[in-house]
Structure 1
Amino acid sequence: MTVAVTAASGKLGRLVVEALLAAGERPVAIVRDPRKVADLAARGADVRQASYDDPAALDAALAGVDRVLLISGNEFGARITQHTNVIRAAERAGVALLAYTSIPRADSNAMVLAAEHRGTEEVLASASVPTVLLRNSWYWENYGGAVAHAAQSGVLHGAMAGGRVSGAARADYAEAAARVLTGEGHEGRVYELGGDAALTGADLAAAVAEAAGAEVRYADLAQDDYAAALRAAGLDDQSAAVLADADARIGEGLLEVNSGDLGKILGRPTTPAATVFAQFLPEASLQA
């Protein structure tokens, strides 16, 4: 069985390839720039070059592939077209399973981030290949910059009001994807994936405090004010607006996942937020 991972040089894709290698597989790593995954090639990955915008290259990259993980792209406004290119190439290749990294409750989720996931899922619904949806909730790593700032300032800002977010480590989602890609009985399934703990803003601040060994409190802002704070921190207008929208939608419960699917697939507890947050803090600031 040959398993392919798209966007294999990205943060999630690389972790999926590493999980597959650790499981004894020889995965196909599909990337735009093979130089970025020379280390994975040295460890046994079959590196093939293709972009989401190049159907011919995708056909070549998926030749002989049995199962493929389509990792959602990051070019807002172009993602449905790009994802469709991969789906059609998978159909032409006759793959036995196509997995897609989506977002919780994509069919009804009102987050700005969800729109192109919903559109991609609609394309998948009529695809001629068996599919499985991996609807990933938030990555704890998404808070990396905020964690470092909060540890210094003592304040973690957000706009999630009293909402909860079921985050997990990126490596948790990657391992789950690798297990689905190499397992059986996943065709047609929709997995709502999130961590074991659903955290409020105050809980997130407490996790930062635990990681940093310092007092940190949560301060809730209006969505527009939070977007302004993100811009002041260096984010571009679009990224700030999207992240502020996501935080506000967390306040509506749209990234709270109670299915337990992630832990069931992993067969272990998911990684606590404080464990992930610690990697974003200077070693000298950590508790002994």
Structure 2
Amino acid sequence: MIVVTGASGALGQLVVQGLLEKVPAAQIVAAVRDPGKVAHLAARGVQVRRADYTDPASLDSALAGADRVLLVSGNEVGKRVPQHRAVVDAAKRAGVKLLAYTSILRADTSTLRLAEEHVATEAAIRNSGLAYSLLRNGWYFENFGGRIQGAAQRGEMVGSAGDGRISAAARADYAAAAVAVLTAEAPQQVYELAGSTSFTLAELTAEAARQAGKAAAYRELPQADFAAVLAGVGVPAPWPELLADSDAGSARGDLFDDGKALEKLIGRPTRSLSQAVEAALNA
């Protein structure tokens, strides 16, 4: 039995859909805070169980009988370490044979503030004594959706990434990697996952301009100014500071990787820059 936590989220749903192509639906558990959000998965025969990262009893019920578990990292920045530890503890009580976790690219050396909670979670997993796989996901193309649309509409993209190269991949690519690991006979302990190719924000802007058929340019801002821009357009705290920090981190190489581990794992190249821009402009 394979349990996917956070299965009502964008990544979790893609993982469950991918698993449905590999294993019988009855062997898949979608563990979610609100079961009503995944009624469509239940209709396909997937087991749906309530699982709240802040409710240990619900986690014990959700993981009962599980052989393999995918812990999809939570979205409540600042609260994720105790939430993730609760899942790790429940997995240990359930005798899970493999615990996979969606971490961040090169978590142990990354300078990104977003890496901090992932590092702590990875430590908890290692210390649990459970067999594990760390899916260290790089940047998601979907993170750039608003900026791609803005470049096409306003003729400008702003950021603090300098000439840093970003090896992004689509959410579907990372979901396919999770499916591959969850169904592998002997998965690795650590996977550094990133896009098959890389780009700068200037190159991303140029591609958005090309597809939109209008001129657009990338404008570099100090990190604090970029955070202020994000806050000004309604990005909720603490994300303006975290995203600006991530831009600055990309200038230091934190979002670049050319090992092609993701491509090898899923058996195909990841989504290209042109495909990602097209998807964002058509969203």
TM over 0.5: yes
In 2, the alpha carbon distance for the partners of 1:45 and 1:72 equals 21
Q: Which amino acid aligns with 1:234?
A: G
Q: Shift of residue 210 of structure 1?
A: 4.0
In 1, the alpha carbon distance for the partners of 2:21 and 2:255 equals 30
Q: Deviations over 1:219-248 (max 9, x none)?
A: 111101111111111112411011000100
2:280 alignment counterpart: 280
In 1, the alpha carbon distance for the partners of 2:107 and 2:32 equals 26
In 2, the alpha carbon distance for the partners of 1:112 and 1:77 equals 11
2:102 alignment counterpart: 101
SS of 2:187 mapped into structure 1: coil
Where does the alignment leave 5 or more consecutive residues of structure 2 unmatched?
none
Q: Shift of residue 22 of structure 1?
A: 2.2
Matches within 5 A, 1:191-202: 191-202=191-202
Conserved in 2, the CA contact under 8 Å of 1:212 and 1:278?
Answer: no
How many correspondences in the alignment?
281
In 1, the alpha carbon distance for the partners of 2:17 and 2:208 equals 28
SS of 1:77 mapped into structure 2: coil
Is 1:234 aligned to 2:231, yes or no?
no
% identical aligned pairs: 50
2:63 alignment counterpart: 62
Q: Shift of residue 44 of structure 1?
A: 2.0
SS of 2:240 mapped into structure 1: helix
Is 1:15 aligned to 2:14, yes or no?
yes
2:255 alignment counterpart: 255
Conserved in 2, the CA contact under 8 Å of 1:210 and 1:274?
Answer: no
Q: Which amino acid aligns with 1:128?
A: G
1:208 alignment counterpart: 208
SS of 1:276 mapped into structure 2: helix
What is the TM-score when the length of structure 2 is the normalising length? 0.96
Q: Shift of residue 134 of structure 1?
A: 0.3
Aligned-pair Cα RMSD in Å: 1.3
Where does the alignment leave 5 or more consecutive residues of structure 1 unmatched?
284-288
**Which segment drifts farther, 21-30 or 118-127?**
21-30
2:123 alignment counterpart: 122
CA spacing shift, 1:211–1:185, aligned 2, 3 Å: farther
Q: Shift of residue 216 of structure 1?
A: 2.5
In 2, the alpha carbon distance for the partners of 1:123 and 1:108 equals 17
In 2, the alpha carbon distance for the partners of 1:121 and 1:147 equals 32
Conserved in 2, the CA contact under 8 Å of 1:227 and 1:240?
Answer: yes
Q: Shift of residue 138 of structure 1?
A: 0.5
Q: Which amino acid aligns with 1:21?
A: L
CA spacing shift, 1:25–1:139, aligned 2, 3 Å: farther
Q: Shift of residue 211 of structure 1?
A: 3.7
In 2, the alpha carbon distance for the partners of 1:215 and 1:108 equals 38
1:5 alignment counterpart: 4
In 2, the alpha carbon distance for the partners of 1:105 and 1:24 equals 30
Q: Shift of residue 135 of structure 1?
A: 0.3
SS of 1:90 mapped into structure 2: helix
Is 1:169 aligned to 2:156, yes or no?
no
Q: Shift of residue 213 of structure 1?
A: 3.4
Q: Which amino acid aligns with 1:120?
A: T
Q: Deviations over 1:111-159 (max 9, x none)?
A: 1100000000111111121001000001000011111111111111111
2:223 alignment counterpart: 223
1:32 alignment counterpart: 33
**Which segment drifts farther, 30-39 or 229-238?**
229-238
SS of 1:250 mapped into structure 2: helix
In 1, the alpha carbon distance for the partners of 2:147 and 2:134 equals 30
**Which segment drifts farther, 233-242 or 4-13?**
233-242
Matches within 5 A, 1:82-161: 82-161=83-162
